C-alpha cells in the first residue's frame, strides 16, 4: 500500500513576515514548470498589496494536496491569498486597462 506524502505545513511567523512563509509554494510552482512573470519577486501596488505573478494558471489542486495552509491563507480557483499579510500568488494578467470613472466621458 502506498501512502500519500505528508503535507508541508506553511508557517506564517517567519523573519520576513510578509512573504518568506510563501517561498515553499513559489518553489513548488516553479518546480512544476510555471515561470515567474513578475521578476521572480513580489511587487506591491499603490495600496501596499503584494502580488507574485506566474505566467501560467496555478495548479490549485496540486497546492491543496501538497501544503497544509493556515486559516489566514485562502486558495481560490486562480490564486493563493494571504489575508493576514496582504499578499497573493496568482497568474499575472499583465497591465490592466485604466477604468474610467462614472463621470468621465
Per the DSSP assignment, residues forming a β-bridge with 88 are 51, 81
pLDDT band at 45 (very low <50, low <70, confident <90, very high): confident
pLDDT value at residue 47: 87
Mean pLDDT of the chain: 86
Looking at the whole model, is its pTM more than 0.85?
A: no
Closest Cα to residue 42, out of 87, 10, 80, 77? 87
Percent of the chain with pLDDT strictly greater than 70: 85
Amino acid at each position: 500500500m502506498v501512502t500519500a506524502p505528508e503535507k508541508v505545513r506553511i508557517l506564517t511567523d517567519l523573519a520576513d513576515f510578509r512573504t518568506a512563509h510563501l517561498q515553499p509554494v513559489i518553489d513548488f510552482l516553479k518546480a512544476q514548470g510555471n515561470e515567474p512573470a513578475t521578476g521572480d519577486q513580489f511587487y506591491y501596488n499603490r495600496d501596499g498589496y503584494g502580488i507574485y505573478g506566474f505566467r501560467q494558471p496555478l495548479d490549485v489542486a496540486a497546492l491543496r494536496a501538497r501544503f497544509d495552509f493556515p486559516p489566514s491563507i485562502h486558495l481560490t480557483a486562480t490564486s493563493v491569498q494571504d489575508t493576514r499579510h496582504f499578499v497573493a500568488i496568482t497568474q499575472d494578467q499583465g497591465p490592466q486597462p485604466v477604468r474610467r470613472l462614472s463621470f468621465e466621458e
